[in-house]
């Protein structure tokens, strides 16, 4: 991965930090996207020290804010004209409904809409770097997308909001793969498995369940392996529109009508179209 640039969102913790470390070990210039400067700098220093790779960059962005996502894309493009791997990894689980400053439900924005916006804003840079790969870190937890109440104003539930956001990532991936055909840019989803991280710390009752089961989960380093494989391995070169678990392609819950509908709604909500 020498002379390649890999960006990882949510890179100060858990699977994102472990993946960033693995990209750094492979020689890539590794871009950490974090919301908290102190945690981001600590991760940056740790990865530099542990891997010996000094090309570890930190970009600060709060992915619950669409303005912050726009600034991230703009700051990145001012510094770089290439991006070879984009890993959309950051996520939250919220025990109760949180509304962002854009008036949207937070889990939907952090886990899905921000990556829809960031990916679209970086597409020209990815295409200019082809072959390039986009990897969305999703989950095996999926909940139906209720287009009548996408922001969950009429009945919030932590598992439903998380599951909706994770299914949205898969629909986005499938739709984007079709739109990117022939561009040299691929897009896939990865389910990392059950991994010992901070996910669920804010998850209320759901979070308590996750914390009880955590000691039995795999390490973040192990949990990052499939996403690094899908991001870098020659074995999956050209694969696109796929869902991977344990380095193998698995069936994904993709529905073309829902994917089209979600794309149109997301264009409007993210401000990419009026």
The contact set with ligand NAP (CB under 6 A) reads 10, 12-16, 35-36, 39, 62-64, 89-92, 110, 137, 139, 191-192, 194-195, 197-199, 217
Residue among 190 and 259 whose Cβ is closer to ligand NAP:
190
Residue among 15 and 134 whose Cβ is closer to ligand NAP:
15
Say how far apart CA 159 and CA 254 lie, in whole Å: 20
Residue among 15 and 31 whose Cβ is closer to ligand NAP:
15
Q: Return the closest-CA partner of residue 167 out of 262, 235, 80.
A: 262
Give the nearest distance from C-beta 78 to ligand NAP in angstroms: 20
* CB neighbours of residue 205 within 10 Å: 10
Give the nearest distance from C-beta 220 to ligand NAP in angstroms: 6
Give the nearest distance from C-beta 266 to ligand NAP in angstroms: 17
Q: Which residue is nearest to ligand NAP, using beta carbons? A: 14
Q: Return the closest-CA partner of residue 11 out of 33, 36, 37.
A: 33
Say how far apart CA 173 and CA 204 lie, in whole Å: 29
Asked if 215 and 196 touch (Cβ cutoff 8 Å), the reply is yes
Residue among 221 and 239 whose Cβ is closer to ligand NAP:
221
Asked if 169 and 88 touch (Cβ cutoff 8 Å), the reply is yes
At 203, list the tokens: 């998850």
Say how far apart CA 150 and CA 105 lie, in whole Å: 8
- The one-character DSSP state at 25 is H
Torsion of CA 21, 24, 30, 36, to 10 degrees: 30
Residue among 129 and 136 whose Cβ is closer to ligand NAP:
136
Give the nearest distance from C-beta 35 to ligand NAP in angstroms: 4
Gyration radius of the chain over CA positions:
17
Give the nearest distance from C-beta 194 to ligand NAP in angstroms: 4
Which entry of 76, 112, 156, 162 is annotated as an active-site residue? 162
Asked if 168 and 109 touch (Cβ cutoff 8 Å), the reply is no
Asked if 118 and 176 touch (Cβ cutoff 8 Å), the reply is no
Is residue 76 flagged as an active site residue? no
Which positions are annotated as active-site residues?
Answer: 162
């Amino acid at each position: 991965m020498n002379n390649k640039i890999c960006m990882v969102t949510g890179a100060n913790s858990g699977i994102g930090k472990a993946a960033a470390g693995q990209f750094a070990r492979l020689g890539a210039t590794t871009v950490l996207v974090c919301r908290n400067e102190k945690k981001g700098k600590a991760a940056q220093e740790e990865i530099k020290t542990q891997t010996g790779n000094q090309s570890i960059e930190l970009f600060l962005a709060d992915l619950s804010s669409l303005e912050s996502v726009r600034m991230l894309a703009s700051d990145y493009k001012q510094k770089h004209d290439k991006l070879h791997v984009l890993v959309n990894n950051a996520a939250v689980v919220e025990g109760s409904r949180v509304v962002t400053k854009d008036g949207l439900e937070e889990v939907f924005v952090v886990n899905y809409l921000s990556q829809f916006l960031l990916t679209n804003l970086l597409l020209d840079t990815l295409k200019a770097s082809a072959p390039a790969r986009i990897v969305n870190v999703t989950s095996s937890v999926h909940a139906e997308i209720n287009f009548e109440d996408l922001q969950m104003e009429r009945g919030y539930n932590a598992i439903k909001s998380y599951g909706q956001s994770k299914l949205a990532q898969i629909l986005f991936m499938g739709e984007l793969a079709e739109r990117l055909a022939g561009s040299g840019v691929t897009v896939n989803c990865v389910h990392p498995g059950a991994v010992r991280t901070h996910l669920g710390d804010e998850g209320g009752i759901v979070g308590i369940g996750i914390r009880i089961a955590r000691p039995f989960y795999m390490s973040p380093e192990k949990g990052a392996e499939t996403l690094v494989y899908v991001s870098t391995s020659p074995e999956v070169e050209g694969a696109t529109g796929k869902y991977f678990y344990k380095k193998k392609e698995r069936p994904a819950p993709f529905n073309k009508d829902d994917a089209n509908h979600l794309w149109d709604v997301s264009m409007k909500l993210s401000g990419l179209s009026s």
